[in-house]
A and B are shown apart, each in its own frame.
Chain A
Amino acid sequence: MNPPARLPRPVVRAATSASPAPAADAPLKIDVEHLSFFYGEKRALEDISIKIQANMVTAFIGPSGCGKSTFLRTLNRMNDIIPGARVEGRVCVDGHDIYGPGVDVVAMRRKVGMVFQKSNPFPKSIFENAAYGIRINRMASGKSELAGRVEESLKQAALWDEVKDRLHESALALSGGQQQRLCIARALAVKPDILLMDEPASALDPIATQRIEELIYQLKTNFTIVIVTHNMQQAARVSDFTAFFWLGRLVEYERTDKMFTNPTEKLTEDYLTGRFG
């Protein structure tokens, strides 16, 4: 178990502006163009354009209320259930606009999984939690296949060894960190391409946080990960790219090592050095 701080930095070509061009060697996964978001009359996000690369960890940072969570939730249309919410602009996942006409939102959410700030296991057994997405999407044809898939996802989320002897106990009996990893396993079980994580470790203690961060590092081989965090050290540890949001706008989007050592924007520098926020 390497502490994430010592993990090797990925080599990506430096981006130069506040809206950097994608690195040439990584395929584009999510392409957001001129996205604005409204809660009723209030504009929460203003003209955001960002290109997120496949198999990378992209972190969204910024002060509370800057719109980073709202933006994350526009990436799998989780805001649809909020009355009065409205979106302008385009969000293309693998080249298809998820806000376009005739989009199957339910199928899209299966591809773009989400882990929430507060762990939200269903009041069911550990097994049933991990099996939920597989069942509702009819992804397993029999009991043994279902069990195999559950085991696989629990292993991917580094939870299997801790729960394999009590799969049929309540998920609510797990510790906070285990519950969050179960939620990650649950999301992974439906085999998404993208995993959106909304401050997944903010309610956890440092050891549980470290486990989640290690997990993120392992998962990016197979998944594209977008993580919202209010913890700048965490962004620096786990992400390849960082986007800094402020007052509903994307201020700077940059390779993480560059942003944390030599930010382009004065506002980013002020935030990173703790002058506000």
Chain B
Amino acid sequence: MKARRTPPARKVLSALFVAACGLAVIAALIPLAFVLFFVISQGVQSLNLDFFLNNPRPVGEVGGGMANAIVGTLILTGLAAALAVPIGILSGVYLSEYRGSRFASTVRFAADTLNGVPSIVIGVFAYAVVVLPLGHFSTLAGGFALGIMMIPIIARTTEELLLLVPNALREGALALGATRARAVFSVIVPAALPGIITGVVLALARIAGETAPLLFTSFNNGFFSTSLTQPISSITVQVFTYAISPYEDWHRQAWAGALVLVTIVLLCSMAARIAAARVARIRGQ
């Protein structure tokens, strides 16, 4: 039997469609390429060892760096993670375990709404519940604001990943006399762990770049500080401050800060991928 030849019109249409997809991909990548190009080309010029070791200098004095802001960002994201990772993962477990219940769908809707709330609103909330009672800006308030932003991201990611774990694994654990909680925490969560790690780090990367919620929570600090109850500097707020200033030197510092931030985020993502791949390889997945 001879197969009927595909009509040329269909081949042309197919080729056009593939070409359209390719163009769309290029269009999506162009802005990314430009952002990276500018951040790297402008940032590298002002990046030197001093940038990592010194604090900002007063206006008019050349030099100085963002040591305090780099440490501040690390502390703020660390605080946020300490708050959001346990709550987010446990909520995700709840959402996937009780996915049929009315409360779970309410929580899911609330998480999605919270995910879409503009970050400045989260900042206002943190200002109201942490800054006002304490009476001043603080690292705690900034970490709290970022943590609130992370919770719904981690919860929903964890839920999605747990739902991907085959039900057969749960049944296998239950059939061996495991309680429901035991089955979840000894079999199902570990099976989804590589994905959960990636999800957590991507959430970290996202909130590390937030500026708005920090403006009136952790504020800024011209000096090196690791105190949780004092205002603290962060790369994003520092970049913002420098970028809107009229000084050429500060503009250069802002570019350098942007480059450092992008690099930190990139390193985090790479570390997450490596960690996830390692966990997966140990298990032979």
Q: Which residues of chain A have a CB within 8 Å of any CB of chain B? A: 76, 78, 81, 83, 106-107, 109-110, 113-114, 116, 118, 120-124, 132-133, 136-137, 169-173, 183, 186-187, 190
A110/B283 in contact, CB under 8 A: no
A116/B172 in contact, CB under 8 A: yes
7 additional contacts (CB under 8 A) given A116-B168, A169-B284: A106-B177, A116-B171, A120-B168, A120-B169, A122-B173, A133-B177, A136-B177
Q: Which residue of A lies closest to B172 (CB)?
A: A120
B175/A136 in contact, CB under 8 A: no
B285/A172 in contact, CB under 8 A: yes
B169/A110 in contact, CB under 8 A: no
Determine if B170 is an interface residue (Cβ-Cβ < 8 Å).
yes
Neighbouring B residues of A136 by C-beta, 8 Å: 173, 176-178, 182, 186
B285/A186 in contact, CB under 8 A: no
Neighbouring B residues of A107 by C-beta, 8 Å: 177
Neighbouring A residues of B171 by C-beta, 8 Å: 78, 81, 114, 116, 120
Q: Which residue from B100, B176, B190 sits with its C-beta under 8 Å from A190? A: B176
B169/A122 in contact, CB under 8 A: yes
Neighbouring B residues of A186 by C-beta, 8 Å: 172, 176
Per the bound structure, the CA–CA distance linking A110 and B187 in Å amounts to 17
Determine if B113 is an interface residue (Cβ-Cβ < 8 Å).
no
A to B CB contacts below 8 Å, 13 in the list:
A78-B174, A81-B170, A109-B177, A121-B172, A122-B169, A122-B187, A133-B178, A136-B186, A137-B176, A172-B283, A172-B284, A190-B176, A190-B177
* Known contacts A124-B190, A132-B173: A106-B178 contact under CB 8 Å: yes
Determine if B179 is an interface residue (Cβ-Cβ < 8 Å).
yes
Neighbouring B residues of A78 by C-beta, 8 Å: 171, 174-175
B284/A183 in contact, CB under 8 A: no
Determine if B12 is an interface residue (Cβ-Cβ < 8 Å).
no
Determine if B191 is an interface residue (Cβ-Cβ < 8 Å).
yes
Neighbouring B residues of A110 by C-beta, 8 Å: 176-177
Determine if B166 is an interface residue (Cβ-Cβ < 8 Å).
yes
| B241 CB to nearest chain A CB (Å) | 48
B176/A133 in contact, CB under 8 A: yes
Count contacts on B: residues with CB < 8 A to the other chain. 23
B172/A183 in contact, CB under 8 A: yes
Q: Which residues of chain B have a CB within 8 Å of any CB of chain A? A: 100, 166, 168-179, 182, 186-187, 190-191, 282-285
| A184 CB to nearest chain B CB (Å) | 12
| B102 CB to nearest chain A CB (Å) | 13
A109/B170 in contact, CB under 8 A: no
| B195 CB to nearest chain A CB (Å) | 12
| B30 CB to nearest chain A CB (Å) | 40
Neighbouring B residues of A133 by C-beta, 8 Å: 176-178
Neighbouring A residues of B169 by C-beta, 8 Å: 120, 122-123
| A157 CB to nearest chain B CB (Å) | 14
Q: Which residue of A lies closest to B168 (CB)?
A: A120
Q: Which residue of A lies closest to B187 (CB)?
A: A122
Q: Which residue of A lies closest to B166 (CB)?
A: A120
* Known contacts A81-B171, A83-B100, A120-B169: A132-B284 contact under CB 8 Å: no
Neighbouring B residues of A121 by C-beta, 8 Å: 172
| A154 CB to nearest chain B CB (Å) | 15
Which 4 interchain pairs have the tightest Cβ spacing? A170-B284, A110-B177, A133-B176, A120-B168
B283/A123 in contact, CB under 8 A: yes
Q: Which residue of B lies closest to A139 (CB)?
A: B177
* Known contacts A81-B170, A116-B171, A120-B169: A187-B284 contact under CB 8 Å: no
Per the bound structure, the CA–CA distance linking A113 and B285 in Å amounts to 26
Neighbouring B residues of A83 by C-beta, 8 Å: 100
B177/A122 in contact, CB under 8 A: no
Per the bound structure, the CA–CA distance linking A179 and B238 in Å amounts to 56
Neighbouring B residues of A118 by C-beta, 8 Å: 168
